Structures are given as structure tokens and as C-alpha cells.
């Protein structure tokens, strides 16, 4: 499969597939960096993440480690051109799967850790999930 759209004659003209490929790479690497930082954070701040696991799920620390590992795997898949499409789709699915934890955090009034853990920020995180999912799907399609 080629990254160049079929309508493009020259890969070096402005608006060409080459330009799209470069922007696709930047978007993918940005998403991979976000996922990498978030994945590592799950192992560094495990207790804070464990607090937002929905109460219906037992063994909250195990879920934190599993979701952190999943984010790191997705980061690697998205970063590598050969696995980028799969990584984008898996990342979109992961963002959807993690949405209940964000809802739980909002319902609990945030994490209580300063401004970033405030109830306002917890509620503002919910609509932020939409552009993250769109970003992952965009990476998967480009």
C-alpha cells in the first residue's frame, strides 16, 4: 500500500502525498509520545491511577499496570511505520476502553492532587477523549 493518494502525479508538489506522509508521521510520533508518557506514568504513579479504576473492577493495581502496558505497546506500534495502522486502531479502542476510568474520576471529584486533579479538570477530560480518539483513527487511516 502506498501513502500517496492516487490523484497525485508528483510526490514532491505541495499538497502531495509526500507532504501528507510527513504530516502523518508527525501526527503518529506525537501520538506515540503521548502514549509513551502516559504509559510510563501508570508505573510511576500507580496509586493515583488505581483510585480512578471503576469500583466494579477488582484488583485496581493490576488494571493500572495492564492499561499502562497497553499504552506502551500502542506507542510502539504507532511509532513504527509498518505497524502504524494497527497501532492507530488499537489506540482508538484503548481510548474508548479507558473512558470509564475518566468518568469514575469525574464522579469522584478528581484525584485531589492540585489543579490537575481538580473536579473541573476531571470533567474537562471527558470531552477531551473525543479528539484523542479522532487523532488515533486519523493516524490509523494515514
Residue 6 has pLDDT above 50, yes or no: no
Q: Is residue 5 part of a domain?
A: no
The predicted-structure confidence for 65-91, as pLDDT tens digits, reads as follows 999 999 999 999 999 999 999 999 999
Q: Is residue 10 part of a domain?
A: no
Q: Is residue 3 part of a domain?
A: no
Q: Is residue 40 part of a domain?
A: yes
Give the Cα separation of 49 and 53 in Å (integer): 7
Q: Is residue 63 part of a domain?
A: yes
Q: Which residue has the cell 483510585?
A: 51
pTM above 0.85, yes or no: no
Q: What SS3 string covers 79-116? A: HCHHHHHHHHHHHHHHHHHHHHHHHHHHHCCCCCCCHH
The predicted-structure confidence for 23-71, as pLDDT tens digits, reads as follows 679 999 999 999 999 999 999 988 888 877 878 888 989 999 999 999 9
Q: Is residue 72 part of a domain?
A: yes
Q: Is residue 69 part of a domain?
A: yes
Per-residue confidence band for 17, with pLDDT thresholds at 50, 70 and 90: low
What's the mean pLDDT when you consider all of the chain? 84
Within 10 angstroms of residue 127's Cβ, the number of other Cβ atoms is: 8
- Domain extent, residue 55, equals 17-141
Q: Is residue 8 part of a domain?
A: no
Count the domains in the chain.
1
CA atoms within 13 A on the CB side of 20: 16
Amino acid at each position: 500500500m502506498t501513502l500517496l493518494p492516487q490523484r497525485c502525479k508528483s510526490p514532491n508538489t505541495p499538497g502531495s502525498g509526500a507532504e501528507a506522509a510527513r504530516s502523518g508521521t508527525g501526527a503518529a510520533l506525537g501520538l506515540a509520545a503521548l502514549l509513551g508518557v502516559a504509559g510510563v506514568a501508570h508505573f510511576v504513579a500507580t496509586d493515583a491511577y488505581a483510585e480512578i479504576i471503576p469500583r466494579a473492577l477488582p484488583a485496581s493495581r493490576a488494571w493500572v499496570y495492564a492499561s499502562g502496558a497497553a499504552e506502551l505497546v500502542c506507542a510502539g506500534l504507532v511509532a513504527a511505520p509498518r505497524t502504524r495502522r494497527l497501532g492507530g486502531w488499537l489506540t482508538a479502542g484503548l481510548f474508548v476502553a479507558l473512558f470509564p476510568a475518566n468518568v469514575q474520576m469525574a464522579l469522584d471529584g478528581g484525584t485531589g492532587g492540585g489543579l490537575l486533579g481538580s473536579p473541573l479538570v476531571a470533567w474537562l477530560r471527558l470531552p477531551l477523549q473525543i479528539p484523542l480518539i479522532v487523532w488515533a483513527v486519523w493516524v490509523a487511516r494515514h
